[in-house]
Amino acid sequence: MRKVDVAVIGGSAAGIAAAVTCGRHYPDKSILLITKDRQVPIPCGIPYIFGTIGDPAKNVMLDAGHKKPGMTILGDEVQEIDRDKRVMTTAGGEEISYERLILATGSKPIIPPIPGVEKDNVFAVHKNVPHLGKMLERVNASSRIVVVGGGFIGVEFADECRKGRDVKISIVEMLPKCLMLAFDDELCDVAEEILRKNGIEILAPDKVVEFVGDDAVTGVRLESGKEIPTDMVILGIGASANTELAERAGLETGPTHGIRVNRYMQTGDKNIFACGDCAEKFSFFDGMPSKLKLASEATREARIAGANLFSTRRMNRGVIGTFSTVVDGTAFGLAGLSARGAERKGYDIAVGEAEAPNRHPGSMPGMAALRVKLVFERGTGIVIGGQIMGARSGGELINTISTCIHEKMTADDIALFPMGTHPALTASPVMYQLTNAAEMAIKAIRSS
């Protein structure tokens, strides 16, 4: 029987970050990372395989053939956990005893129970290199593609699949606009406009009621009665926590069906931790269950779990939810709550917006406009959300906003935020979008 101090199940973002964090905090402990797939794709990079990158093999974060410093990697699948004995058994027939165990088993794409979903050429986005290779072959062979779901994954797939191909792409979205679960309307509108300009058809609000065809899909029938012929379907409608192993081991799950954890990322078994897509989450704002599944959030939870294994050192303050995407070169990002999301949670809000070139003067090369929208709780003036749209530098600016939210900064605090500016890197200090968006909300906050 193999004996290890720490076993981590799962080789994606959460598993790797948990193992690395454990290694940093407890350098004397032996760490075994167990991953089912020999090669683990970078999750957020998956859509880019289909355009910008062009090859699933170029989007790999963990290769079980490589040795990582401080950890041993085992390409195998854990089948049972005997919690009393602290022993796991694997598909490969190994018995492994552990002191502490981290479950980072991730998520599985949701396969909607729509008639015909089992047909050939209907693809869910499994995080699996050979599967992604087959999907890419099919994309290359298709002259029509239907993407089901207009969230991040759907939009990124549509935008990437069109690149360098003569293909007609349609997105089918249940909500009135694409990306509506993330952004406020005006950002969704800009994103949709860019997609349409690139020849992508958006069918929203509408939904698929049937995948038609014999063995292989040849079209989708929509609730509106439309029928769209297609050579393939990509399902981009989200993911659900992969909790099979945890449930077999008798661990409890929570209201969003993730593995139930406390604020230290500990499951009901004090020797077993869970983090990432497989773990139950709660909102930073109101403590309510959160369904958000993000690789960045997964690593954040992994840094808590990994540090707490042998001594409680870090507490989870909940999910703020910070993410970004790019549609044909234009960046979109959200941290915390959109105006719509805040109102849905019952907040009385004040909004401030500012737009400026991300260079100064605007004649500096590489200039692109960058817009910031901030959402404040009106009574306290505390920032609860921010959105960016435009220049790629917004991909880091959204992280400054995320920090402001995390620290519960007020509009006055942000207006006095000590930014650094440079002609070739940012907006001018007079026009700096973050400070100015905060200033634009002050009047509404003071009048509350």
Shortest distance (Å) from residue 349 CB to a second copy: 19
- Name the residue nearer to a second copy (CB basis): 69 or 93: 69
Between 248 and 313, whose beta carbon lies closer to a second copy?
Answer: 313
User: Can you tell me the distance from the alpha carbon of 47 to that of 59, in angstroms, rounded to the nearest whole number?
Assistant: 10
As a whole number of angstroms, the distance between CA 335 and CA 354 comes to 16
Give the DSSP per-residue string, 359-392: SSSTTSTT--EEEEEEEEETTT-BEEEEEEEEST
* Closer residue to a second copy, CB minimum distance, 81 or 320: 320
Radius of gyration of the chain (CA): 23
Nearer to a second copy, 212 or 442 (CB): 442
Q: Report CA 417 to chain centroid distance, whole Å.
A: 28
Q: How far is the CB of 405 from a second copy (least distance, A)?
A: 8
**CA 167 to chain CA centroid, nearest Å:** 27
Whether 132 contacts 56, CB under 8 Å: yes
Which residue in the block uniquely carries the two structure tokens 């109102």? Answer: 343
Q: How far is the CB of 355 from a second copy (least distance, A)?
A: 15
DSSP state of 251: -
Shortest approach of a second copy to residue 40 CB, angstroms?
11
Q: Output the smallest distance, CB 148 to a second copy, in A.
A: 22
Shortest CB 201 distance to a second copy, Å: 23
Kindly tell me which of 48 and 211 has the beta carbon lying closer to a second copy: 48
Of 265, 233, 211, the closest CA to residue 103 belongs to 265
Q: Whose structure tokens read 């306290």?
A: 380
Q: Shortest approach of a second copy to residue 209 CB, angstroms?
A: 33
Burial class, 30, CB count within 10 angstroms (exposed 0-12 / middle 13-18 / buried 19+): middle
Q: Which is nearer to a second copy, 81 or 383 (CB)?
A: 383
Q: Which amino acid is at 105?
A: T
**Running DSSP on this structure, what letter comes out for residue 71?**
B
Q: Which ranges of 249-318 does DSSP label H, i.e. alpha helix? A: 295-308
Any bridge partners for residue 228, and if so which?
Answer: 220
CB nearer to a second copy: pick between 350 and 398: 398
What residues contact 52, with CB distance under 8 A and at least 6 apart? 160, 163
Least distance CB 32 / a second copy (angstroms): 18
47 or 258, CB closer to a second copy? 47
DSSP-derived letter for residue 404 is H
**At CA 355, angle to CA 180 and CA 381, rounded to 5?**
75
Q: What are the backbone dihedrals phi and psi of residue 299, each rounded to the nearest 5 degrees, phi first?
A: -70, -30
Compute the least distance from the CB of residue 21 to a second copy, in Å: 7
C-alpha closest to that of 179 among 207, 201, 150, 141: 150
Q: Identify which of residues 234 and 441 has a Cβ nearer to a second copy in the complex.
A: 441
Nearer Cβ to a second copy, position 279 or 304? 304
Nearer to a second copy, 184 or 231 (CB): 184
Angle between helices 152-161 and 185-197 (to 10 degrees): 20
Treating both helix axes as pointing N-terminal to C-terminal, what angle do 13-25 and 295-308 enclose, rounded to 10 degrees?
A: 30
CB of 444 to a second copy, least distance (A): 11
Q: Give 122's strand partners.
A: 233
Give the span between the Cα atoms of 233 and 398, in whole angstroms. Answer: 32
Least Å from the CB of residue 171 to a second copy: 19
